[in-house]
Amino acid sequence: MAILRGRRAHMTYGFPLFLLWMALILAACAPIEPSRWEEAQEAAAGQSATAMEALAGGEFNKFFPKATNGYSVVYTQEKRGFAEAVLKYEGEEMATLSIFDTVSNPEAAQKYKESTQQVGHYPAVDVGGNGTGILVADRFQVQVRAKNDSFTVTDRTQWLMAFDLAGLANLQ
């Protein structure tokens, strides 16, 4: 009887364990495709993420537009060469505002050299379907990206002009 119970236990647990073992073996043999993150990591290998010449993000904050008429500016990110804030109207997110020091990525400034658009006297480009960017002093990329459908191209342009662009130009 003990022998029969042993065989029954072996049959009850052995077969599912065998299937699990086979599934693990087959999964280990399947080719693994690199993720988009791995490809980006390989492409960036050997490159410095941020140039040491890039200004501290905190230096940019004083050039952002000031809160006015129901709008608030909430700073969300600050690191070497970059600062970002969210523009809110009565608590609702309307747009992101940012300043990027292109000394870390000169290619980012290149697209402005070929631009035929201007905001103020600064070269401008469309950034995707919901953003507008300008290049200040051939170095600082200032962007406004809509987060709300009611925030128009005209709104983006007005908020770009609300930055202290002359002060930013003198920063370098």
Is there a domain that residue 46 lies in?
Answer: no
Q: Note whether 26 and 83 are same-domain residues.
A: no
Q: Note whether 11 and 71 are same-domain residues.
A: no
Prediction pTM value: 0.69
Domain count, the chain: 2
Residue 46's pLDDT is: 42
Give the CATH number for residue 149: 3.40.1000
C-alpha 28/C-alpha 4 separation (Å) is 36
Residue 12's pLDDT is: 62
C-alpha 164/C-alpha 60 separation (Å) is 10
Range of the domain at 8: 2-32
Strand order across the 131-136 sheet: 71-79, 82-89, 92-101, 140-146, 131-136, 122-127, 117-119
Question: What does the DSSP 8-state code read for residue 33?
Answer: P
Band (43; pLDDT cuts 50, 70, 90):
very low
Residue-wise pLDDT for 111-158, tens only, equals: 999 889 999 899 999 998 899 999 999 999 999 999 999 999 999 999
Residue 13's pLDDT is: 64
Is there a domain that residue 90 lies in?
Answer: yes
89 in Cβ contact with 36 (< 8 Å): no
